[in-house]
Structure 1
Amino acid sequence: MQPSIDHIEITVKDLEETVSFYDQFLPLLGFSLDKKTAAYIASHEKHVVEYSHPNLCIALTSPRESLKDEAVHRRRPGALHHLAFKAETRKQVDMVHGKLVEMNADIVSAPRLYPEYHPNYYAVFFKAPDGIKFEVVCQKVE
């Protein structure tokens, strides 16, 4: 078996606001909105919006009613610290950053080299509306 992620499901505070963000962000990574689906799963009491791609599926889900007012904190045990997407070139990282700026996304750190991680580590860091941290990174020599 090879390590490969089939899907990631992220519970978000405000599904409508977050879907609006992902509708703009995920196509930058190659996702097609034609492959987006939505459903309500009664047995789990949640709404789900799923973005499918041949390499990865990302699903957003509504929170449990009793937990809906809790804040996202990436350092909480069991929490997603951040999710990094691989870019093939630094130019792609810069392109994503430019689109994120147009979207008024919460940019944590504009694209730059991070030699403390790796000599060729070039990345942009940003947050989704709920505060979930993301990264787009290129580690190739250019």
Structure 2
Amino acid sequence: MIDHFGINCADLAASAAFYDKVLGVLGYSRQMDVEVAIGYGAGSPDFWIGVQPAEGPASGPNREIHVGFTAADAAAVRAFFEAATALGAEVLHEPRFFPEYHPSYYGAFVRDPDGNNVEAVCHMAQPGD
């Protein structure tokens, strides 16, 4: 069900130093670093920390969270997106490939009614799906 999740940090450098150390003793390490976000895990980035935005739902004291839900395939990602937008969800990213994550990463991102960033993701999609 849960593919990955992330939190926003007021000070990314301080949080990175913290998570590098505390997750390191548990056997986890940085799997990806995309400057504004760092993914930790053991083989794949399952937990992310990111820069807290200056504006919007994630900028206040109650920061948004990010949850990536596992989708069976690209069609399921599109169905998630269609269902969410039909309910009035704000679109963050329409369904597409995200090659900056990896070549077969296909996802869609929306805001839930509380302002959280929720995503459906499939890791096996191929161009043309």
TM-score normalised by the chain length of structure 2 = 0.48
TM-score normalised by the chain length of structure 1 = 0.44
Larger radius of gyration: 1
Pick the structure with more helix per residue: 1
